[in-house]
């Protein structure tokens, strides 16, 4: 089994995302979780970049056991000195030296010729190797570097002592087919390549970072550099969780290839990084997004309930999710609805399920997502349902701080639609007085309570009332996303109860 080295650069390249700055304690917390996750190498920072980053890398090196602790350095002696002084406290220190090799970078950024770049690369690796045995070298912008020159640089730095050579797609320019050829070219044209590990570091500017990294793995790369949630410069880096789960899930393609990652820690790690960096994970993010194992479409829900693998290629618990989530909304089907009711402990007859499902669909058109509390309210009302002698058809209110509240109510009674209007102290009072006109029963409101069944601005509101009607105290309850509608339904529920109990007696 070929075990791919997972090099995590969340604390270095990931932290370079605008707005993702971390303090020392936050870096330590993430580093400890990365060790639990099982990454092989933690690139803890760029020590020369600031005193704070130096101290953070030093703290990680001192405190985190297990992974190799790496510090980044330019091909400059003071950078290498700083990197070594920060990582030397680790039982497994590494210095990562980089130097640009593409014509674009050499001409416009470094203003140096190939011979000078080659000399600097070799000298910096030798200088670093004198301090530390584990040296990694990156020819920056390798994917846009002349192939012959790239091969020459790689051969030279290996001879100078580099044990890992990283091939970065620094600007996310390459494609999987092209990147595969770059890796093949290195393996076929660098005589001493067997003495080192080929690593890849892909950026996501064209959305191809994971694909490029996986193409490299299939063609001989032994290390992949990546970040949690794909954090990083510009459009980010290859996502650690996507690479790991692609290798694991598609073992028919990645034969005899594995990683040492404890995948059950992926979701937890993702959430920790998101919380501490303030970089929100999009809901539809692969592997760790909140919707990654959620289904709302009725056809999908039905398939998953019958056999999970119809619509899920991974088990949610394998990446740290608790379970598949069937989201009840307007696209959901009867099967998922009935299953959720069973899970909530309701044992309803088919007729009751059918009626409750119709009410669920009506509510789903008003709300983005239906919560269990919404279902409980619907079912409670269905179980306790009495014949609706008076049924709300329509209501209209006019109200404001300088307007006399007025309500117009339409009710269905004995297959007729009756209408009445009234004013009141407020919109609810006006509605109740209009109802009184239609029913002929003047009720006195004894108690009125309102509560939010669920959270959110579109939450289902539940109104409970006690009404004195014809000498009896009758309770009523109604629910709706519109509080006025819920209030009218509660009042009518009380009136219908009185009619129903009177007939029974």
Better-predicted residue by pLDDT, 143 or 17: 143
Residue 101 maps to a domain: yes
Cβ within 8 Å of residue 449, ≥6 positions away: 463, 464, 465
* pLDDT (0 to 100) of residue 499: 80
Residue 287 maps to a domain: no
Residue 357 maps to a domain: yes
Whether 321 and 208 map to the same domain: the answer is no
Report yes or no: 484 and 427 within 8 Å, Cβ to Cβ: yes
Whether 85 and 115 map to the same domain: the answer is yes
Q: How many Å apart are CA 207 and CA 72, to the nearest integer?
A: 25
* pLDDT (0 to 100) of residue 381: 62
Of 252, 277, 302, the last residue of a domain is 277
Which residue in the block uniquely carries the two structure tokens 């639609």? 417
* pLDDT (0 to 100) of residue 504: 55
Q: How many Å apart are CA 429 and CA 431, to the nearest integer?
A: 5
Q: Could you report the per-residue pLDDT of 325-362, keeping only the tens digit for each? A: 555 666 677 777 777 777 766 677 788 788 878 877 77
Helix H or strand E segment including 8: strand 5-8
Whether 131 and 149 map to the same domain: the answer is yes
String of DSSP letters for 295-316: E-SHHHHHHHHH-GGGT-SS-G
Identify the weakest region by mean pLDDT among 16-30, 155-169, 285-299, 456-470.
285-299
Report yes or no: 216 and 226 within 8 Å, Cβ to Cβ: no
Give, as one character, the DSSP assignment of residue 423: E
Give, as one character, the DSSP assignment of residue 192: T
Q: Is the pTM of this model over 0.75?
A: no
Residue 128 maps to a domain: yes
Residue 288 maps to a domain: no
Among 465, 477, 469, 476, smallest CA distance to 502 is for 469
Whether 78 and 116 map to the same domain: the answer is yes
Give φ, ψ of 45 to 5 degrees. 160, -170
Cβ within 8 Å of residue 290, ≥6 positions away: 281, 283
Whether 326 and 402 map to the same domain: the answer is no
Q: What is the CATH number of the domain that holds 453?
A: 3.30.160.270
Whether 14 and 81 map to the same domain: the answer is yes
Q: Are strands 416-423 and 294-295 parallel, antiparallel or unpaired?
A: unpaired
Q: Could you report the per-residue pLDDT of 405-435, keeping only the tens digit for each? A: 999 999 999 889 999 999 999 999 999 999 9
Whether 197 and 345 map to the same domain: the answer is no
Q: What is the mean pLDDT of residues 85-109?
A: 97
* pLDDT (0 to 100) of residue 98: 98
Whether 80 and 114 map to the same domain: the answer is yes
Residue 340 maps to a domain: yes
Residue 282 maps to a domain: no
Q: Could you report the per-residue pLDDT of 199-255, keeping only the tens digit for each? A: 999 999 999 999 999 999 999 999 999 999 999 999 999 999 999 999 999 999 999
Which residue in the block uniquely carries the two structure tokens 């509608």? 485
Q: What is the CATH number of the domain that holds 232?
A: 3.20.20.70
What are 8's strand-pairing partners? Answer: 42, 226
Mean pLDDT of the chain: 88
Domain count, the chain: 3
Tokens representing 69 are 């602790």
By percentage, how much of the chain surpasses pLDDT 70? 87
* pLDDT (0 to 100) of residue 367: 64
What are 136's strand-pairing partners? Answer: 96, 164
Whether 176 and 95 map to the same domain: the answer is yes
Of 244, 277, 310, the last residue of a domain is 277
Q: Could you report the per-residue pLDDT of 362-403, keeping only the tens digit for each? A: 777 766 666 666 676 676 665 556 677 898 999 999 999 889
Taking CA atoms, 465 is separated from 89, 389, 420, in Å, by 69, 18, 22
Report yes or no: 455 and 375 within 8 Å, Cβ to Cβ: no
Q: Which strand ranges, in their side-by-side order, compose the sheet holding 416-423? A: 391-400, 403-413, 416-423
Question: Residue 471: how many CB atoms within 10 A of its CB?
Answer: 5
Better-predicted residue by pLDDT, 281 or 187: 187
Question: Residue 23: how many CB atoms within 10 A of its CB?
Answer: 12
Which residue in the block uniquely carries the two structure tokens 């570097």? 145
Of 383, 409, 433, the last residue of a domain is 383
Whether 368 and 299 map to the same domain: the answer is yes
Whether 228 and 377 map to the same domain: the answer is no
Q: How many Å apart are CA 156 and CA 151, to the nearest integer?
A: 9
Whether 146 and 81 map to the same domain: the answer is yes
Q: What is the mean pLDDT of residues 255-265?
A: 95
Residue 195 has pLDDT above 90, yes or no: yes
Among 368, 297, 342, smallest CA distance to 356 is for 342
Residue 37's pLDDT band, with cuts at 50, 70 and 90, is very high
Residue 208 maps to a domain: yes
What domain range includes position 76?
A: 2-277
Tokens representing 185 are 């070219």
Residue 270's pLDDT band, with cuts at 50, 70 and 90, is very high
Give, as one character, the DSSP assignment of residue 281: P
Q: Could you report the per-residue pLDDT of 212-227, keeping only the tens digit for each? A: 999 999 999 999 999 9
Q: How many Å apart are CA 360 and CA 339, to the nearest integer?
A: 14
């Amino acid at each position: 089994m070929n075990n791919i080295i997972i090099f995590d650069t969340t604390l270095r390249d990931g932290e370079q995302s605008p707005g993702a700055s971390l303090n020392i304690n936050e870096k330590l917390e993430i580093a400890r979780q990365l060790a639990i996750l099982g990454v092989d190498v933690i690139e803890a920072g760029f020590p020369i970049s600031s005193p704070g980053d130096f101290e953070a890398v030093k703290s990680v090196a001192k405190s985190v056991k297990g992974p190799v602790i790496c510090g980044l350095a330019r091909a400059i002696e003071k950078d290498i000195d700083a990197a070594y002084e920060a990582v030397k406290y680790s039982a497994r220190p590494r210095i990562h030296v980089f130097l640009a090799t593409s014509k674009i970078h050499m001409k416009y950024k470094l203003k140096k010729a190939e011979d000078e770049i080659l000399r600097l690369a070799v000298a910096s690796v030798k200088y670093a190797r004198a301090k530390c045995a584990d040296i990694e070298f990156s020819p920056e912008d390798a994917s846009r570097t002349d192939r012959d020159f790239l091969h020459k640089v790689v051969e030279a730095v290996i001879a100078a002592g580099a044990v890992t050579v990283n091939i970065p797609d620094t600007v996310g320019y390459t494609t999987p087919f092209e990147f595969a050829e770059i890796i093949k070219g290195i393996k076929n044209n660098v005589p001493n390549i067997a003495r080192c590990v080929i690593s890849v570091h892909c950026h996501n500017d064209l959305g191809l970072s994971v694909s490029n990294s996986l193409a490299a793995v299939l063609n001989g790369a032994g290390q992949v550099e990546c970040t949690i949630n794909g954090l990083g410069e510009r459009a980010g880096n290859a996502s650690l969780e996507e690479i790991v789960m692609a290798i694991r899930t598609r073992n028919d393609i990645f034969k005899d290839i594995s990683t040492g990652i404890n995948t059950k820690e992926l979701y937890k790690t993702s959430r920790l990084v998101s919380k501490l960096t303030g970089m929100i994970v999009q809901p539809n993010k692969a592997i760790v997004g909140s919707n990654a194992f959620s289904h709302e479409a009725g056809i999908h829900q039905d398939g998953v309930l019958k056999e999970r693998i119809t619509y899920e290629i991974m088990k949610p618990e394998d990446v740290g999710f608790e379970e598949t989530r069937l989201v009840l909304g307007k696209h959901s089907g009867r099967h998922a609805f009935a299953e959720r009711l069973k899970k909530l402990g309701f044992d309803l007859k088919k007729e009751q399920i059918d009626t409750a499902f119709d009410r669920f669909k009506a509510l789903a058109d008003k709300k983005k997502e239906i919560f269990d509390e919404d279902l409980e309210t619907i079912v409670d009302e269905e179980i306790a349902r009495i014949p609706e002698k008076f049924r709300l058809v329509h209501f209209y209110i006019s109200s404001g701080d300088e307007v006399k509240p007025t309500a117009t109510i339409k009710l269905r009674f004995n297959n007729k639609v009756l209408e009445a209007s009234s004013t009141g102290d407020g919109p609810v009072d006006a509605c109740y007085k209009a109802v009184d006109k239609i029913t002929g029963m003047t009720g006195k409101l004894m108690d009125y309570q309102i509560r939010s069944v669920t959270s959110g601005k579109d939450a289902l509101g539940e109104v409970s009332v006690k009404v004195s009607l014809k000498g009896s105290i009758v309770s009523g309850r109604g629910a709706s996303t519109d509080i006025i509608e819920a209030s009218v339904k509660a009042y009518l529920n009380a009136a219908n109860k009185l009619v129903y109990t009177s007939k029974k007696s």
